Amino acid sequence: METRLRGGRAIAKTEEEVAPQLMQQVKRHAPEAPPPALSTDGKGAYREAMLETWGTVPQYGGQGRPPTVPQPGKDWQYLQVIKRRQGSKVVSVTPKVIYGEQEEVKKVLGEQTAYVERTHLTSRQMNGRLVRKTLSFSKELRFLKAASALEDGHLQHPCVGNNAHLLWLLGSTSHIWTVKELLTVVLVPLLTNT
């Protein structure tokens, strides 16, 4: 993995609510590009969110009923990693290719979710509001969103490292941030309907 650049963050009660928000945020970075290669757990809300965000309805061929359901692109790569548990132990891990050629997808993404799990661990270490069974939870959603925006600012806008230059190139910031800016600029989370 070349960078820990986070393409977006969505906060909601269920994966079905989060997935479409997150896919829209990712698409804003490259509106004309196909979805990035994606690996998720076995719940599956991202399949529908990808179709809703990037899918296209095929052109009508003139016979039968006109198509109305969006279809995935030929260059999409999406892998679900389904973990089966017994109690608190993972007893099996089954990779399931949803979009793309099986061997190519596994070569690009591996057969695990280690990168995103590592990002989740970093988030929990930096933002106590994300830790399960703790006293530092957020009583109000706005506080969780504010703490998460601060964490994103710290992770995404360091004055040293690969991400600072990459963010500037992507247009996420107009310049590479200094330490003073990082510590004094008020980070405001993206406004959403929630």
**Among residues 113, 138, 165, which one ends one of the domains?**
113
> Domain of 93?
1-113
- Is residue 141 domain-shared with residue 103, that is, in the same domain? no
Q: DSSP secondary-structure letter at 141?
A: H
Whether residue 5 is found in the same domain as residue 33:
yes
User: Tens of pLDDT along 49-72?
Assistant: 999 999 999 888 888 899 899 999
Say what the pLDDT of residue 163 is: 47
Q: Is the whole model's pTM more than 0.85, yes or no?
A: no
Residues 69 and 135 in one domain: no
Spacing of C-alpha 178 from chain mean position: 26
pLDDT averaged over the chain?
Answer: 78
Helix extents (H) in the chain: 15-29, 45-54, 102-109, 114-126, 141-156, 162-170, 179-184
Whether 109 and 25 map to the same domain: the answer is yes
Alpha carbon distance 42, 40 (integer Å): 7
Q: What tens digit of pLDDT does each residue of 135-148 get?
A: 887 778 888 888 88
Total structural domains within the chain = 2
Q: Is 180 a member of any domain?
A: yes
What is the pLDDT at residue 187?
55
Of 40, 28, 73, 78, the residue nearest 54 (C-alpha): 73
At residue 41, what are phi and psi to the nearest 5 degrees? -75, -175
**What per-residue confidence (pLDDT) applies to 123?**
81
Q: With a cut of 60, say whether residue 32 has pLDDT above it.
A: yes
pLDDT tens digit sequence for 92-126: 888 899 999 999 998 888 877 777 777 778 888 88
Q: Rounded CA gap, 23 and 20, in Å?
A: 5
Task: State how far the Cα of 172 lies from the Cα of 183, in Å rounded to an integer.
Answer: 18
Q: Do residue 42 and residue 16 come from a single domain?
A: yes
Q: Which two tokens stand for residue 189?
A: 């989370």
pLDDT in tens, 75-88: 999 999 888 889 88
Q: Are residues 192 and 108 in the same domain?
A: no
Structural domain includes residue 122: no
The verdict on 24 and 67 lying in the same domain is yes
Q: Residues 17, 93: one domain? A: yes
